[in-house]
Amino acid sequence: MIKQKPSEKARKLISDIPSDWLEKANWYEENKSWLEKSAVLAFKILRTLREKSISQMEFAKMIDVSPQYVSKILKGKENLTLKTIDSIEKCLGITLQNIDTPSPVCLTEFPQTLHHP
Amino acid sequence: MKFHRIFAPQDFLIAVHWENNIPDEFSRLFEEWTDLDFLENFFYENKNDLNSKFWQGISIEKAVFRTIREALTFRKTFVDLVEIHPANRISHLKSIFKPLKSSAENPSNLLRTKAYGTTMASWLRLYAIKVDSNMYIITGGSIKLTQRMEDRKHTMQELIKLDMCREFLRSEGIFDEAGMVEFLESEF
Mutate to test the interface with A, among B6, B11, B31, B40 (most CBs of A within 10 A): B40
What percentage of chain B reaches a pLDDT higher than 70?
95
Q: State whether residue A74 sits within 8 Å of chain B by CB.
A: yes
Chain A residues in contact with B37 (beta carbon < 8 A)? 42, 46, 71, 74-76
Q: What kind of architecture, by CATH, is found in domain A31-109?
A: Orthogonal Bundle (1.10)
Q: A87 in the Ramachandran plot: left (φ > 0), alpha (ψ -120 to 50) or beta? A: alpha
Helix (H) or strand (E) holding B76: helix B60-81
Nearest to A74 among B34, B36, B183 (CB): B36
Length of chain A: 117
Does this complex have an ipTM over 0.90?
Answer: no
CB–CB of A46 and B72 under 8 A?
Answer: no
Domain residue ranges of chain B, discontinuous segments joined by +: 2-185
pTM of the model: 0.87
Q: A108 in the Ramachandran plot: left (φ > 0), alpha (ψ -120 to 50) or beta? A: alpha
- Mind listing the pLDDT tens digit of every residue in chain A (117 residues)? 444 555 566 556 766 667 788 889 999 999 999 999 999 999 999 999 999 999 999 999 999 999 999 999 999 999 999 999 999 999 999 999 877 766 665 555 555 555 554
Residue B177 has pLDDT above 50, yes or no: yes
Q: Alpha carbon of B10 to those of A18, B35, B136, B159, B184: distances in Å?
A: 11, 29, 12, 26, 11
To the nearest whole Å, the CA of A101 is away from the closest chain B CA by 29
How confident is the prediction for chain B on average, in pLDDT? 89
Chain B residues in contact with A43 (beta carbon < 8 A)? 36, 40, 61, 64-65
Q: State whether residue A57 sits within 8 Å of chain B by CB.
A: no
What does the pLDDT read at residue B28?
A: 94
Identify the bridge partners of residue A98 per DSSP, sorted by sequence position: none
pLDDT digits (tens, 9 = 90+) for B116-142: 988 778 999 999 999 998 899 999 999
Residue B37 has pLDDT above 90, yes or no: yes
CB–CB of A3 and B65 under 8 A?
Answer: no
Domain residue ranges of chain A, discontinuous segments joined by +: 31-109
pLDDT digits (tens, 9 = 90+) for B152-161: 999 999 999 9
User: With b meaning 16 or more CB within 10 Å and e meaning fewer, what string describes B108-142?
Assistant: eebbbbbbbbbeeebbbbbbbbbbbebbbbbbbbb
Residue B145 has pLDDT above 50, yes or no: yes
Largest CA distance in chain B: 54
Q: State whether residue B183 sits within 8 Å of chain A by CB.
A: yes
